[in-house]
Structure 1
Amino acid sequence: MALRSVFDASQIRTEFENAGINSHFIPLIWKYVIQNPNCEWDEVPSLPSSAYPLLRSKFKPSTSTVHSVIDSSDEVTTKLLIKLQNGAFVEAVIMRYDTRLGKYGGQPRSGGLRSTLCISSQVGCKMGCKFCATGSMGFKNNLSSGEIVEQLVHASHLSQIRNVVFMGMGEPLNNYTALVEAIRVMTGSPFRLSLKRITVSTVGIIHAIKKLQNDIPNLNLAVSLHAPVQDIRCQIMPAARAFPLERLMDTLREYQKNSQQKIFIEYIMLDGVNDEEQHAHQLGKLLETFEVVVNLIPFNPIGTLSHFSTSSEQKVTKFQKILRGTYSIRTTIRKQMGQDISGACGQLVVNQSDKRSTGSAGLLTDIEDLSL
Structure 2
Amino acid sequence: MRNKNIYSSSLSLPISMATTRSVFDAGALRLELEAAGISFQFIPTIWKHVVQNPSCSLDDVPSLPAAAYPLLRSKFRPMTSSLSSAIDSRDSVTTKLLIRLQNGKLVEAVIMRYDSRLGKYDGKPRPGGLRSTLCVSSQVGCKMGCKFCATGTMGFKNNLTSGEIVEQLVHASRFSQIRNVVFMGMGEPLNNYNALVEAVQIMTGYPFQLSPKRVTVSTVGIIHAINKIHEDLPNVNLAVSLHAPDQEIRCQIMPAARAFPLGKLMDALQLYQKNSQQKILIEYIMLDGVNDQEQQAHQLGKLLETFKVVVNLIPYNPVGTSSCFQTSTEQNVKKFQKVLRSEYNIRTTIRQTMGEDINGACGQLVVNLSEQRSAGGSNLLTDIEDLRI
Q: 1:212 aligns with which of 206, 229, 233?
A: 229
1:87 aligns with 2:104: yes
Q: Name 1:108's counterpart in structure 2.
A: 125
Post-superposition CA distance 1:240-290 (Å, at most 9, x none): 000000000000000000000000000000000000000000000000000
> Which whole-Å CA distance do the structure 1 matches of 2:91 and 2:256 have between them?
34
1:295 aligns with 2:335: no
The number of residues matched between the two structures is 372
Helix, strand or coil at the partner of 2:349? strand
> Which whole-Å CA distance do the structure 1 matches of 2:205 and 2:234 have between them?
15
User: Normalised by the size of structure 1, how large is the TM-score?
Assistant: 0.99
Post-superposition CA distance 1:27-61 (Å, at most 9, x none): 11111011111111221111110000000000000
> Which whole-Å CA distance do the structure 2 matches of 1:196 and 1:10 have between them?
24
Unpaired stretches in structure 1, ≥5 consecutive residues: none
**Are 2:337 and 2:349, in contact at CA under 8 Å, matched by a contact in 1?**
yes
1:296 maps to a residue whose letter is: L
> Which whole-Å CA distance do the structure 2 matches of 1:216 and 1:248 have between them?
19
Q: Name 1:309's counterpart in structure 2.
A: 326
> Which whole-Å CA distance do the structure 1 matches of 2:122 and 2:294 have between them?
28
> Which whole-Å CA distance do the structure 2 matches of 1:95 and 1:355 have between them?
23
Q: 2:134 aligns with which of 112, 117, 122?
A: 117
Query: Which 10-residue stretch deviates more, 232-241 or 215-224?
Result: 215-224
Equivalences for 1:202-281 in 2 at 5 Å?
A: 202-281=219-298
> Which whole-Å CA distance do the structure 1 matches of 2:308 and 2:381 have between them?
21
Q: 2:366 aligns with which of 343, 349, 352?
A: 349
Post-superposition CA distance 1:318-370 (Å, at most 9, x none): 00000000000000000100000000000000012222113333334222322
Query: Which 10-residue stretch deviates more, 189-198 or 97-106?
Result: 97-106
CA deviation after TM superposition for structure 1 residue 190, in Å: 0.5
> Which whole-Å CA distance do the structure 2 matches of 1:312 and 1:93 have between them?
27
**Are 1:296 and 1:333, in contact at CA under 8 Å, matched by a contact in 2?**
yes
**Are 1:8 and 1:146, in contact at CA under 8 Å, matched by a contact in 2?**
yes
Q: Name 2:202's counterpart in structure 1.
A: 185
Q: Deviation above 4 Å: which 4+ runs of structure 1?
A: none
> Which whole-Å CA distance do the structure 1 matches of 2:32 and 2:195 have between them?
18
> Which whole-Å CA distance do the structure 2 matches of 1:23 and 1:359 have between them?
37
Q: Name 2:4's counterpart in structure 1.
A: none
1:161 aligns with 2:191: no
Query: Which 10-residue stretch deviates more, 328-337 or 347-356?
Result: 347-356
1:61 aligns with 2:70: no
> Which whole-Å CA distance do the structure 2 matches of 1:131 and 1:105 have between them?
31
Equivalences for 1:129-168 in 2 at 5 Å?
A: 129-168=146-185
> Which whole-Å CA distance do the structure 2 matches of 1:359 and 1:114 have between them?
21
1:174 aligns with 2:191: yes
Helix, strand or coil at the partner of 1:24? helix
> Which whole-Å CA distance do the structure 2 matches of 1:105 and 1:234 have between them?
35
CA deviation after TM superposition for structure 1 residue 87, in Å: 0.4
**Are 1:90 and 1:123, in contact at CA under 8 Å, matched by a contact in 2?**
yes
**Are 1:169 and 1:361, in contact at CA under 8 Å, matched by a contact in 2?**
no
Post-superposition CA distance 1:167-226 (Å, at most 9, x none): 000000000000000000001111111000000000000000001122112210000000
Q: Name 1:35's counterpart in structure 2.
A: 52
Q: Name 2:301's counterpart in structure 1.
A: 284
**Are 1:91 and 1:361, in contact at CA under 8 Å, matched by a contact in 2?**
no
**Are 2:121 and 2:386, in contact at CA under 8 Å, matched by a contact in 1?**
no
